[in-house]
């Protein structure tokens, strides 16, 4: 695949996907995971990796292409194609690809899991803690989908709305971080009785965790907002050419062509200027 389409399946895409998977492992499978109940800063670093760093890297790797190309053709024709063309599945795909849904999923995951009572339960119950991590990764993928816009998805909102989308996404994080930074007490009481792994108190650990999230999310969301803005203002733009998408259709599973072509037709009917 890469030898046939080096510009589409480039080495940097493989590196982005591989690094994203490594970061997921680092967050939940490395020794870092052993210290999340001893330091809120470590715990917040996990959340940052799972929700704001690993997901866009995984999506930039375009994992759909090798996955679809590697499916056995009989299985793709008899199982995958009917499922993807099934009306409820298509409607579900339209829903989860909507930027509003991704924004709400990320906001609810961030605020919901940091409610003190739920946060404390997740520290005590391992299955709930694993569910928390899975929901952060899932919400992160949903949130970053309209920003990265991986093939074969089509933009639901105009591209100029993405910087606004990213700006408004910082607000729930800003609210949580500000609350933790300026609160004069330890919000999550479990950290009062745990052994200290850094040379600071539980309250200072809380403030450091909040500052980490506050600054990191601002910078991580600012970077793609700047890139998208530059793409919009560039004379020629940075869109992939029609020939590139033709190549993608050829290397992907033929069973998806009907679904993708239908989505493209719908997009042309609703966005005639883009087609022109």
Model confidence band, residue 90 (pLDDT cutoffs 50, 70, 90): confident
Q: Which two tokens stand for residue 109?
A: 């995951």
**Which pLDDT does position 89 carry in this prediction?**
75
More confident residue, 66 or 221: 221
Q: Which two tokens stand for residue 181?
A: 């930074």
- Whether the per-residue pLDDT at 169 is higher than 50: the answer is yes
Model confidence band, residue 97 (pLDDT cutoffs 50, 70, 90): confident
For the chain, give the percent of residues with pLDDT over 90: 47
Q: What is the Cα–Cα distance from 129 to 18, expressed in whole angstroms?
A: 25
How far apart, in Å, do the first and last CA atoms of the chain sit? 31
Is the CA virtual torsion 13, 17, 19, 20 positive or negative?
positive
Model confidence band, residue 95 (pLDDT cutoffs 50, 70, 90): confident
Ordered by start, the domain boundaries in the chain are 11-271
Largest CA distance in the chain: 64
Residues 223-246: tens digit of each pLDDT: 999 999 998 888 764 454 444 444
Burial class (CB in 10 A: 0-12, 13-18, 19+), 135: middle
**Which pLDDT does position 236 carry in this prediction?**
62
Model confidence band, residue 56 (pLDDT cutoffs 50, 70, 90): very high
Residues 138-153: tens digit of each pLDDT: 999 999 999 988 866 6
Give the number of other Cβ atoms within 10 Å of residue 94's Cβ: 13
Residue 53: helix, strand or coil by DSSP?
helix
Residues 127-141: tens digit of each pLDDT: 999 999 999 999 999
Residue 160: which region, alpha, beta or left (left: phi > 0; alpha: psi -120 to 50)? alpha
| Range name among 17-21, 74-78, 128-132, 250-254 with the lowest pLDDT average | 250-254
Give the 3-state secondary structure of 223-265.
Answer: HHHHHHHHHHHCCCCCCCCHHHHHHHHHHCCHHHHHHHHHHHH
- Whether the per-residue pLDDT at 184 is higher than 60: the answer is yes
């Amino acid at each position: 695949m890469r030898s046939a389409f080096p510009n589409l399946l480039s080495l940097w895409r493989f590196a982005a996907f591989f690094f994203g998977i490594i970061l997921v492992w680092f967050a939940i499978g490395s020794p870092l995971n052993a210290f999340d109940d001893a330091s809120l800063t470590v715990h917040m670093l996990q959340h940052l990796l799972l929700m704001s760093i690993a997901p866009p890297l995984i999506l930039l790797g375009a994992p759909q292409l090798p996955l679809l190309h590697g499916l056995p053709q009989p299985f793709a024709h008899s199982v995958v194609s009917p499922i993807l063309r099934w009306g409820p599945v298509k409607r579900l795909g339209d829903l989860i690809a909507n930027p509003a849904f991704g924004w709400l999923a990320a906001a609810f995951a961030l605020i919901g899991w940091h409610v003190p009572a739920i946060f404390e339960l997740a520290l005590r119950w391992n299955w709930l803690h694993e569910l928390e991590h899975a929901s952060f990764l899932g919400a992160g993928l949903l949130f970053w989908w309209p920003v990265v816009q991986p093939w074969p998805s089509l933009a639901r909102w105009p591209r100029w709305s993405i910087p606004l989308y990213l700006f408004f996404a910082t607000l729930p994080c800003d609210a949580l971080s500000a609350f933790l930074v300026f609160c004069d007490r330890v919000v999550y009481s479990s950290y009062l009785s745990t052994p200290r792994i850094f040379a600071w108190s539980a309250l200072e650990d809380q403030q450091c965790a909040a500052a980490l999230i506050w600054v990191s999310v601002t910078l991580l969301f600012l970077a793609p907002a700047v890139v998208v803005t530059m793409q919009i203002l560039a004379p020629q733009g940075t869109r992939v050419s029609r020939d590139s998408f033709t190549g993608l259709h050829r290397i992907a599973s033929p069973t998806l062509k009907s679904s993708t072509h239908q989505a493209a037709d719908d997009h042309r009917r609703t966005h005639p200027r883009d087609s022109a």
